[in-house]
Amino acid sequence: MAITIQQMRALVAVADLSSFTAAASHLHLTQPAVSRAIGEAERHLGVVIFDRASRTLRPTERGARIVAIARTSLDAFDRAALQMHDVSSGARRSLRIAALPSIAAILLPGVAAHMRSLDEGTDLQIFTGRAENVNELVASEKVDIGIGVASEGAAVKHFQPLFSDELVCVTSKSHRFNQGAALEWSDLAAETFLRLPSDSSVGKLTWETFEAARAVPREVVPIHDLMSAAGLAAAGVGIAVIPALSVPLTMFAELSYFSIRSPRAVRTIGIASKSALTEHEAVVGKKAREIALKVLSTQPNSPVDGPGPGRRTQVRNVLRGLDREAE
């Protein structure tokens, strides 16, 4: 006999509350019923899941892994049950998406239009925030999925890479960099640098790359968002680094764009969720990636200079590589 949903719920409740009595109250069962469910699960799996000898009831090493699997399975089961209820009742489905501001502005309008063309019964709710906020919203189940960068601190079970987003340098049209080709980070360090917050995904990656290149900007001007970076750079106040995907958001400013080599700074954008993606969520990821490829491969003033494959070929190669990683 296979382990049951009820037994998995008992496993997770006891692991979370460290008590058979508290778990029974949470599950609206009797304490003997919870103890019996745990015992049956242990007998079926042939492993001791909880260490009953210690003062605090805790999972054993293998028990902790079993509880983690049960938790993921229950998340998927509960979501599937809700979806089946929606289908049977004819209710409109709600899909809550959290994303980085640039992702929300550039990719999600096309994603929303595509989802509506496929199923007018799906209501999309979109939230924006920095990388850690996006993953926290997913971990706390306030949203169904998040589109951003991976975060080590958030309890996100799944992160599927979608595409790669390279950082590029932006300057005024009259800047001396216009006389050269691709730049190195040491070139940027010699300029007044418009620095995005260190707790943003771009700001963090930028400073980490400066440190890896052993280069420190001679003068730093703190800024708070990409739009400010573009405007100030266009006015000649300094130079800035932005993600290639965000280039369309800066078209209001008179800017030049440069690839930065040695080393290249790339952030991986992916879709985060607490359990395996549903059919609708997988469609969101596929469409977001498709739009990103188009944006990255058709930018004016392509940041890729010199010989070698063009921007479109490079992006496609990166996406193929991410496909292999995700398989």
Given 30, 64, 88, the domain boundary residue is: 88
Give pLDDT, residue 319. Answer: 39
For residue range 300-325, list pLDDT tens digits in order: 444 433 333 343 433 344 333 444 33
- Residue of 5, 39, 1 lying closest to 20 (CA atoms): 39
Query: Within 10 A of 268 (CB to CB), how many other CB atoms are there?
Result: 16
Q: Are strands 122-128 and 145-148 parallel, antiparallel or unpaired?
A: unpaired
Q: How confident is the model at residue 253 (pLDDT cuts 50, 70, 90)?
A: very high
**Type of residue found at 295:** V
* Nearest-angstrom CA–CA distance, 281 and 278: 5
Structural domain includes residue 304? no
For residue range 166-180, list pLDDT tens digits in order: 999 999 999 988 665
* CATH (domain of 23): 1.10.10.10
The answer to whether residues 273 and 208 belong to one domain is no
**Type of residue found at 18:** S
The answer to whether residues 68 and 35 belong to one domain is yes
Burial class of 113 by CB neighbour count within 10 A (0 to 12, 13 to 18, 19+)? exposed
Q: How confident is the model at residue 152 (pLDDT cuts 50, 70, 90)?
A: low
For residue range 40-76, list pLDDT tens digits in order: 999 999 999 999 887 778 999 999 999 999 988 887 8
Give pLDDT, residue 326. Answer: 37
Given 88, 105, 121, the domain boundary residue is: 88
Query: Within 10 A of 110 (CB to CB), how many other CB atoms are there?
Result: 16
* DSSP result, 88-108: HHTPPEEEEEEE-HHHHHHTH
* Nearest-angstrom CA–CA distance, 35 and 198: 49
The answer to whether residues 107 and 83 belong to one domain is no
In this predicted model, which residue has the larger pLDDT, 33 or 85? 33
Structural domain includes residue 327? no
The answer to whether residues 66 and 140 belong to one domain is no
Domain total of the chain = 3
Structural domain includes residue 110? yes
User: Distance of alpha carbon 98 from its chain centroid, rounded?
Assistant: 9
The answer to whether residues 280 and 148 belong to one domain is yes
The answer to whether residues 216 and 77 belong to one domain is no
* DSSP result, 175-217: SGGGGSSSEEHHHHHTSEEEEPPTTSHHHHHHHHHHHHTT---
* CATH (domain of 262): 3.40.190.10
Structural domain includes residue 306? no
The answer to whether residues 137 and 187 belong to one domain is no
Structural domain includes residue 141? yes
The answer to whether residues 260 and 276 belong to one domain is no
The answer to whether residues 131 and 150 belong to one domain is yes
User: Distance of alpha carbon 208 from its chain centroid, rounded?
Assistant: 19
Could you tell me the residue range of the domain that residue 12 belongs to? Answer: 5-88
The answer to whether residues 275 and 156 belong to one domain is yes
The answer to whether residues 106 and 120 belong to one domain is yes
The answer to whether residues 137 and 282 belong to one domain is yes
